[in-house]
Amino acid sequence: MVEDVVRTLGFLCMGSRLRRIGERLQADTQQVIDEAGLGIQAGQYPFLAAIDRSGPLTIGELAQAVGITQPGATRTIGQLLELGYVDMQPAPDDQRRRLVSLTDKGQDLVDHSKKVIWPRIAAAVADLCGDLDGPILEQLAAIEDGLATVPLARRNAAKEENS
Amino acid sequence: MVEDVVRTLGFLCMGSRLRRIGERLQADTQQVIDEAGLGIQAGQYPFLAAIDRSGPLTIGELAQAVGITQPGATRTIGQLLELGYVDMQPAPDDQRRRLVSLTDKGQDLVDHSKKVIWPRIAAAVADLCGDLDGPILEQLAAIEDGLATVPLARRNAAKEENS
DNA sequence: ATTTATTGCATAACATGTTATATAACTTCC
DNA sequence: GGAAGTTATATAACATGTTATGCAATAAAT
């Protein structure tokens, strides 16, 4: 058994730690999405959600909304275009800007996700860390331990069993 | 001004959120390292720290210690070999395993880092989130806001000014 | 009005994580 | 003691983030 240095070093490795947990959480989330048979990546959802919430947005606005850089947004939107979930058109008043909107297929996916998948994911994550409190390092440890014990995809069933 | 969807969606986008914050924290950490004139990447430090703490480790043990997959460890150790901070030799009893140890240069870097850089980084991160408490989503919001207000690299100076 | 600066997006190059798989070295099991 | 399985590492292929930079469209300046 090897010591987990990143955990041991605490604040010093906070960046690595958060990234690592984020990656695991997102991988677990992906599993939930896949089990539901939806052909989409977890990282693409925030883009669809942003448009659903705010109406058509430009690439730059999407990058801001999702909190990544513009080239990253350009790439993900390219994927969503390929998948047929969004549509892109030059803004009428400014030919530089590209307005990205949901297609019917994209809106259907969002509507279905809102009903079926998003609540499930949010509930599973809430089950994992919703009741935590206290210093962040302790909460992160609890989250890592929790994920190792019961993966996210098993956390809805567990809740339902209790009802 | 565009709404931050990832923040708005809370638990639903927790994975993206943690990753995003981790990436920013690590970028800020890198800045501190660069300002100190050290030729090393933030993500390489945990490997050096792991060997420093536990003595020579194999690639697989390093991967475990740092919490990434083995190919990732292989690559980072390759970089550290190039940089001359570590040395790698087949284990005497098992030729498959490669024992990675610190070179003198690597040990010097670790010793210097322990004295000068690591406390600085840990203090800056502690300044950012050490006093936080409460639900994780609130703490994450505070961390993001805090980073946006005063980047990590400015957080030691600020502390020292008060003394 | 035409030059100059700025803005918005695309693209290239790179960083660093992942999964899948090949290969060599050890173990196991008749 | 040799065949078959297992383990440790390396490598390839891919995902998804970044920075740097080019180009076209717009805005600003003289």
Do the beta carbons of residue A143 and residue A128 sit within 8 Å? yes
pLDDT band at A163 (very low <50, low <70, confident <90, very high): very low
Please give the pLDDT value at position B121.
93
Measured to protein CB atoms, the chain C nucleotides within 7 Å are 7-13, 15-20, 24-27
Nearest to B3 among A4, A28, A53 (CB): A53
- Closest residue to D16 (CA to C1') is A72
Q: Residue B162: is its pLDDT beyond 60?
A: no
Of B24, B66, B122, the CB nearest to A12: B122
Residue A27 has pLDDT above 50, yes or no: yes
Question: Does residue B59 sit at the A interface (CB-CB below 8 Å)?
Answer: no
Q: What is the DSSP letter of B11?
A: G
Task: State which residue of chain B sits closest to A11, comparing Cα positions.
Answer: B122
Q: Would you call A5 and B49 a contact, using CB atoms and an 8 Å cutoff?
A: yes
Find the CB nearest B22 among A16, A49, A122.
Answer: A16
Model confidence at B163: pLDDT above 60:
no
Burial class, A85, CB count within 10 angstroms (exposed 0-12 / middle 13-18 / buried 19+): buried
Residue with tokens 């150790």: B77
**Higher pLDDT among residues B1 and B128, named by residue:** B128
Q: Name the closest residue on chain B to residue A53, using Cα atoms.
A: B5
A35-46 in b/e burial notation, b at 16+ Cβ within 10 A? eeeeebbbbbbb
Output DSSP code: residue B152.
G
Q: What is the pLDDT of residues A118-150, one digit of tens each?
A: 999 999 999 999 888 999 999 999 999 999 888
Could you tell me which residues come within 8 angstroms of residue A73 by beta carbon, excluding any fewer than 6 positions away? A47, A59, A60, A62, A63, A66
pLDDT tens digit sequence for B121-161: 999 999 999 888 999 999 999 999 999 888 888 887 544 44
Per-residue pLDDT reduced to its tens digit, B33-90 = 998 888 899 999 999 999 999 999 999 999 999 999 999 999 999 999 999 999 999 9
Nearest to A36 by CA among A127, A156, A149: A156
| pLDDT one-digit tens code per residue, B92-113 | 999 999 999 999 999 999 999 9
CB-based contact, B147 to chain A, within 8 Å = no
pTM: 0.89
> Does any CB of chain B come closer than 8 Å to the CB of residue A57?
yes
- Answer whether B35 touches A (CB < 8 Å): no
Which residues in chain B have their CB less than 8 angstroms from residue A133's CB? 133-135
CB-nearest partner of A6 from B8, B23, B66: B66
A72 touches strand D (CB under 7 A): yes
**Are A152 and A25 contacting, i.e. CB atoms less than 8 angstroms apart?**
yes
Contact check, Cβ <8 Å, A66/B5:
yes
Summarize the confidence of residues A64-70 as an average pLDDT. 96
Confidence of residue A57 (pLDDT cuts 50, 70, 90): very high
Asked if pLDDT for residue A162 goes beyond 60, the answer is no
Q: Which bases of chain D come closer than 7 Å to a protein CB?
A: 7-13, 15-20, 24-27
